[in-house]
Chains A and B, each alone.
Chain A
């Protein structure tokens, strides 16, 4: 009996695999040619900016110097970020913003999808109305909400004062304690229709015969939902939550237009803070370091997203 070491076996396999891989690549040369332009474009518009952002994150870019005269500072930008109290304030804001917006949008969207799943008169019209916040421009919505919230002559304040429920208009966006929740409400209003659409699509895949069988077996509405409907929606829920989370981490328009991150940084989230560092203060190096950190977080979320999608595909394949 010949004893083959693990290393030697691996080498043998690699050697036998190489011609096989090359042969397969040659056989699929047309396929590679088809995707080559897309890969080239991705290298230019995605890979290079990522590389450049990582490179810039090791440099200082004072306002009096051009970017080409940047000064190498090693990991100083990362140290400066992690020791800055503003970073932790902005990070906390980002986590609250993302978690609250994602969770509440999902719950509201799911509830709306369940309510609209049953057939009733006017369902189509109601569904169309609920989608409106998602289809209107985020910029327009932000300006409208800014006026609705206006601390001196906003419509909410005017109504509350008129009804005698408040002596003066409430301060929604000019207070450090209320600004973030106020913006989150706007974001949820914008996003829950997306969750509703996703969950509506998911609900349509739940086999009707299973629900009928459960009913025949004596399951009540909650049991049918919990034991039949919900397990079927697990994957679409995961994907929806991940997509919402990524979108919320990347939010810019609503906080930037409505408050510019203020007052006193109370509504700055990562993206708005990065924008201000880069374009307002020209700290391209620090902004790049922030972006690298955000990139790592988003890539992690992306990994789970892809895994969730793969899980879906595997399950579909098993079925």
Chain B
């Protein structure tokens, strides 16, 4: 069965920090949203939780590119995560969840599981 999803407004363009990340709270928990104005697309979203420490910190990492791929480095133990796929460059077995993110006018929309609809269906 295909998971039901929904798009929610999580913040506005003014909340974003160019070349860096911010954290938002969603029904799936904390998500990190990155704004890399020199790329296309310019928005990326991955889980805010650092899989190596368990702490919610990935939005506070340094962004950049390695081999042309957009990345963020965990501020705690410095592992790199691909912002498009969530793959950890240092450990193939580790991957963080990625989310679809869109710019609609001034609003930033994020796609998460539709927990409300899932609850109704159950």
User: A and B bound?
Assistant: no
